Amino acid sequence: MQGKIKWFSGEKGYGYIVGDDGQDYYFNVREVKGAELPSNGDAVTFEPGQGKKGPRATAVAITSKALSPSHSNSNRHSDDRATCPHCGKKMVPRIITYHGEPQKSVCPFCGGTYKKFGCFIATAVYGDFYAPEVIALRRFRDETLEVCAIGRAFISLYYRCSPPIAAFLANRPLLSALVRLPLNVLARRNG
């Protein structure tokens, strides 16, 4: 089937395709064929299927890239830069990685943290930033927890407490296996 990328986040590892049938299909980064990740508006082909929470796309292949604003005939120019919450300057955040995994992005002017990435504990116990369970847990964070004040408070607490817990779990396979059990249940519900 053919479709167009409605929304995709490389840092979160998932997105949605609008198929020729008008249906939205969920997909994650592991379903993308080739080395290049899609961008919003790219034309793609994919295999439609049914996931636990609705329509799902597999074998996603980019057939043509969307025109960027600099290549369009429009005189309007969009400014894709972010505004630093600390110094207020327009900037392109720099990504900080640890052992090859993105941890956070920072302002190049003041060094303030712009955004934290990932599910630290899930990444530690599954051993892969793009593990399907980690992607499902990120989706749970974004689509369930982020929408309410209690969920946002939990996320804030999690980001303060989880890095040392993740470091502790990273070298303890038996304890990691125990932590994976409840995470597997949550990931299956949101995958």
pLDDT at 80: 62
In a domain, 75, yes or no: no
Do residues 112 and 139 both lie within one domain? no
Q: Containing domain of residue 95, as a range? A: 81-117
List, edge to edge, every strand of the sheet that includes 101-106: 94-98, 101-106, 113-116
Residues 156 and 186 in one domain: yes
178 in the same domain as 149: yes
49 CB contacts (<8 Å, ≥6 apart)? 55, 56, 57, 58
Tokens of 59: 């074998």
Assigned domain for 186 exists: yes
Q: What is the pLDDT of residue 102?
A: 65
Q: Is the pTM of this model over 0.85?
A: no
User: What pLDDT shows up at residue 77?
Assistant: 47
124 and 157 share a domain? yes
Q: What is the pLDDT of residues 104-121, one digit of tens each?
A: 778 888 988 877 666 788
| pLDDT tens sequence across 8-38 | 987 778 899 999 998 999 998 889 998 788 9
| Closest of 81, 118, 76 to residue 100, by C-alpha | 118
Say how many domains are in the chain.
3
Total residues found in the chain within this entry: 191
How much is the average pLDDT of 65-80?
A: 57
In DSSP terms, 50 is beta-bridged to 55
- My answer on whether 130 and 173 are in the same domain is yes
